[in-house]
């Protein structure tokens, strides 16, 4: 990160007469550095970062700040600022407590309100409320833009994880989120009571001879749960399968590849990722494609993101399955989770995802082959009904 010239202004007062009174503090008798000279070579020719500006600011804060200062907070804040400077909402640093919360989340249980959020055009957007979560029951909807938490506005200098931490809290405690919703005349305040969120990531149901497999997340146990559902589909001789990844914000790439392998012939590409140097890595189906010959349809919506888009894109490109619903979210970047020595962590965007045909998922998403809007004012699941109709056509064609 390129340091900026910092002038420390102390005791600034604005009087009613309009005058601005401040005090500048300059280092006396100290070596003056070029602030742009932030990397030097040592005697061996190795690069060294020059931290004179950092320590200068550190010392001046301790000497002059009117309040109490915790060195730990300054340290972690400095690291967070450095990471945030790359200007990617999904590249984040988290101190140890937040890292522990994240690890609990990806294992399938945490305390919160049950929403997944992302960034779209600079705004914090609800990708989806989890099924049956306090957020869903309170009326939070996919596509809501969060503009405040407990009446504190969401500002441009807040990272995505800052917003998450404001929303999370102790079980039983309320939190008010204010959202802007398409079609609403003014922001909507929604109070949600936090609870323990236990995510059941795979749900299986049957409508006559059609199996409906709803995947709500791609967590650590999702592939195992899906394999159990797949065995039941086979045992009950289902004639068709609907994969429902609506409002599924994603999760582990590994889970998406494993589930895709149940539908796609071994060796065929499920997804490819490309790094900043243009290097490409393909993830192929691993075999045991027990659902390969069963007619399949996928349902997506604007809350389908990340691993959901990988699975939908693979089934569309490799099997030409009908994709029902609305455009997916378009979160197609790869984050690597790096645990640091003190228990803190980095999540770093290292690549972007592409479908087997080479289409970018990031910011573009997956387009349905049959667009169906869900009417929120009806109890009828129009997208599911359309998926069943499309499957019945395929099954009838095979029988004929």
Name the active-site residue from 141, 331, 345, 386.
Answer: 331
* CA–CA gap between residue 100 and residue 104 (Å, rounded): 6
**Closest to 384 measured CA to CA, from 207, 226, 256, 221:** 207
- Report d(CA 85, CA 79) in Å as an integer: 10
d(CA 297, CA 337): 32
Based on its alpha-carbon atoms, the radius of gyration of the chain, rounded to whole angstroms, reads: 25
Residues ≥6 apart with Cβ < 8 Å to 134:
113, 114, 192, 193, 194, 195, 197
* Secondary element (H or E) of residue 74: helix 71-84
Enumerate residues 6+ apart whose C-beta is below 8 A from 84. Answer: 92, 159
Instruction: State the number of CA atoms in the 13 A half-sphere of 391 facing the CB.
Output: 26
Structure token pair of residue 154: 């969401």
- Active-site residue (options: 111, 306, 318, 328): 306
DSSP state of 350: E
Main-chain dihedrals φ then ψ at residue 215, nearest 5 degrees: -115, 115
339 flagged as catalytic: no
Task: Give the closest residue to 311 by CA, choosing from 228, 267, 252, 233.
Answer: 252
Annotated catalytic residue, options 60, 165, 292, 335: 335
Q: Which ranges of 107-149 does DSSP label H, i.e. alpha helix?
A: 134-138
In the chain the first and final C-alpha atoms are separated, in Å, by 65
Contact between 161 and 103 (Cβ < 8 Å): no
Active site residue 386: no
Q: Is 331 a catalytic residue?
A: yes
**Catalytic positions, written as ranges:** 306, 331, 335
């Amino acid at each position: 990160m390129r340091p900026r010239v910092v002038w420390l202004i102390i005791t600034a007062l604005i009087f009613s007469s309009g005058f601005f009174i401040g005090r500048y503090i300059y280092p006396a008798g100290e070596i003056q550095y070029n602030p742009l000279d932030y990397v030097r070579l040592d005697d061996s020719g190795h690069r060294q970062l020059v931290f004179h500006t950092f320590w200068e600011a550190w010392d001046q804060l301790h000497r002059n700040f009117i309040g109490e200062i915790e060195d730990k907070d300054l340290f972690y804040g400095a690291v967070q600022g450095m990471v945030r400077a790359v200007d990617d909402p999904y590249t984040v640093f988290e101190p140890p407590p937040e890292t522990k919360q994240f690890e609990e989340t990806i294992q399938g249980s945490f305390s919160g309100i049950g929403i997944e959020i992302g960034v779209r055009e600079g705004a914090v957007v609800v990708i989806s409320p989890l099924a049956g979560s306090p957020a869903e029951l309170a009326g939070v909807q996919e596509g809501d833009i969060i503009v405040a938490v407990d009446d504190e506005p969401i500002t441009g200098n807040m990272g995505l994880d800052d917003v998450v931490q404001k929303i999370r809290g102790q079980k039983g405690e309320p939190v008010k989120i204010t959202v802007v919703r398409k079609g609403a005349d003014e922001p909507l305040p929604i109070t949600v009571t936090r609870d323990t969120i236990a995510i059941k990531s795979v749900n299986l149901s049957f409508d006559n001879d059609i199996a409906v497999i709803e995947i709500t997340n791609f967590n650590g146990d999702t592939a195992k749960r899906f394999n159990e559902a797949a065995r039941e589909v086979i045992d009950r001789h289902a004639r068709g399968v609907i994969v429902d990844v609506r409002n599924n914000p994603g999760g582990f790439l590994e889970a998406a590849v494993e589930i895709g392998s149940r539908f796609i012939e071994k060796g065929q590409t499920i997804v490819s990722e490309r790094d900043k140097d243009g290097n490409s890595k393909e993830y192929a189906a691993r075999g045991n494609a027990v659902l390969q010959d069963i007619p399949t349809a996928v349902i997506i919506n604007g809350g389908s993101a990340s691993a959901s888009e990988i699975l939908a894109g693979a089934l569309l490109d490799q099997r030409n399955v009908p994709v029902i619903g609305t455009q997916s979210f378009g979160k197609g970047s790869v984050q690597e989770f790096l645990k640091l020595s003190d228990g803190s962590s980095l999540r770093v965007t290292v690549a972007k995802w592409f479908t087997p045909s080479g289409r970018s998922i990031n910011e573009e998403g997956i387009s349905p082959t049959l667009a169906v809007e869900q009417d929120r004012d009806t109890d009828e699941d129009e997208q599911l009904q359309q998926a069943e109709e499309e499957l019945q056509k395929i099954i009838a064609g095979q029988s004929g």
